[in-house]
Amino acid sequence: MKEMNKQSTTLRIIDRLKSSNSSDIMTVLGAYLILVIFFSIKSPYFLRVNNFLNIGLYAAIMGAVACSMTFINVSGCIDISVGSQIAVVGMVVATLSRLELPIGIIILGGLLAGGLCGAFNGFFITKIKINPFITTIASMQILRGIAYLISNGQTIVVTNDVLKFIGRGRFFGIPVTLIILIIMYLIFGFVGKYTVFGRSIYMIGGNAQSSFLSGIKVQKTKFIIYAINGVMAGAAGIMLTAQTGAGLPMAAAETNMQALSAVILGGAGLTGGKGTILGTFIGVFVLSTLNNGMVMLNIQTFWQQVIVGTVLLIAVAIDAIKGGSLKRKI
């Protein structure tokens, strides 16, 4: 009897592993370990606590947007305007801090600006029902233009002590941005797994029509995740401005694609219904570690881009082949 129980428990665990995408996370984790071992052998400075804290410090901006972007991808949508959203927020934050407003107002202003950008996308996607890709191609350009317009193309220097602490400060030796990032992932991870809202995102991505017929508010949910994504771009914009000490209208041009790469690497493809916050977290660290290691090895930046792109392609190809892509005719 006991034997039987044990067996069924094992079966249940295997089944759970199979159905919860953990296997994909395992693959990415494995890849991460290989990376760490490789760089540790190649560079004596790599395998040090301080280096990893540094990775965390610089991963925060991309990591913050990748976090909420996971929900966008899980719902079957996409957002490629995040980089421009960050730039707008950066300019707003820099302008507000120039006016020497209280830090609370500055942060709130940044988050609000981001939220508005996200809501703008959400409105066109869910109310006018324009394809998310097209909507965000447009808003990417609109928002980038607005970022330039705010200061007429000029850089705005920021000298706020609290902002400086957020951007470069450490708390018990741990970078503040890394702490913020971990808190974000804990919250989003919780929402994704333990709330009805989080589950409905997966449902919508899995089959929007069935979800609608089961009483899920499909469009409202999508609107909310775009707005949340904007707020997270706000947080990223605040951290970026704090880190660089200036509002730059051309900022975060590559952040969008890096974040999207991290999300995809973490298992949330573009088809929807799949992916986890934990997976994205690992994806973010794989990419950041890769970048960090390549810098340490003095690899030319042009080659760095080739390598990052190749890693992404290989990861997705493995997934596609596992899914039987070679056996299909079309």
Partner 1 sequence: MSACEVKQLNNRRIVLEAKNITKVFPGVKALSNVSLKLREGEVLALLGENGAGKSTLIKVLSGVHNCEEGDVFINGEKVVFNKPSDATEKGISIIHQELNYVGTISVAENIFMGNIPKKGFIIDYPKMYEEARKIMARIGVDINPKEIIGRLTVAQKQLIEIAKVVTDQTKVLIMDEPTSALNDVETENLIKFIHNVAKKGIAIIYISHRFDEIFRIADSVVVLRDGCNVGGMDIQDASREKFVTMMAGRSISDTYIKKEANPGDVVLEARHLSTTHIKDVTFQARYGEITGVYGLLGSGHNDLGPAIFGQERIISGEILVDGKNIKLDTPITAIEHGMAYVPAERKTEGLILNSSIKINMTTAYYSKHKNKKFIDFGKDNSIAKKWIEKFSIKTPSPETKAESLSGGNQQKVVLSKWLELNPKILILNEPTRGIDVGAKIEIYKILDELCQQGLCVIMITSEMEELLTMSDRVMVMHDGLIMADLSGEKISQNNIIKYAMGEQNERDE
Q: Which residues bind partner 1 (CB under 8 A)?
A: 11-12, 15-16, 19, 193-200, 202-203, 206-207, 209-217, 273-274
Closer to partner 1 at the Cβ: 272 or 293?
272
Which residue lies nearer to partner 1 by CB, 169 or 206? 206
As a dihedral over the C-alpha atoms of residue 119, residue 125, residue 129, residue 133, rounded to 10 degrees, the angle is 160
Closer CB to partner 1, residue 24 or residue 147?
24
Do residues 119 and 230 lie in contact, with contact meaning Cβ atoms separated by under 8 Å? yes
User: DSSP class of residue 107?
Assistant: H
Any long-range contacts for 166-174 (C-beta under 8 Å, 24+ apart)? 166/238, 166/239, 166/242, 167/239, 167/240, 167/241, 167/242, 167/243, 167/244, 167/245, 168/57, 168/242, 168/243, 170/53, 173/53, 174/53, 174/56
- Which residue lies nearer to partner 1 by CB, 186 or 306? 186
Provide CB contacts within 8 A for 43, sequence distance 6+: 293, 296, 297
Token pair recorded at residue 40:
């540790």
Shortest distance in whole angstroms from residue 18 CB to partner 1: 8
Which pair of tokens denotes residue 68?
């909420």
Residue 181 or 225: the one with the smaller Cβ distance to partner 1 is 225
Q: Alpha-carbon distance 21 to 116, whole Å?
A: 33
Q: How far is CA 25 from CA 268, 276, 278, in A?
A: 11, 9, 8
Tokens at residue 133, please?
């890709």
State the nearest-atom distance from the C-beta of 131 to partner 1, in Å: 16
Instruction: Provide, rounded to whole angstroms, the least separation between the CB of residue 189 and partner 1.
Output: 13
- Closest distance to partner 1 from the beta carbon of 111 (Å): 22
In whole angstroms, the minimum distance from the beta carbon of 210 to partner 1 comes to 5
What's the min distance (Å) between Cβ of 303 and partner 1? 38
Closer to partner 1 by Cβ: residue 141 or 214: 214
C-beta closer to partner 1: residue 206 or 245? 206
CB 200 to partner 1: min, Å: 8
First to last CA, the chain: 49
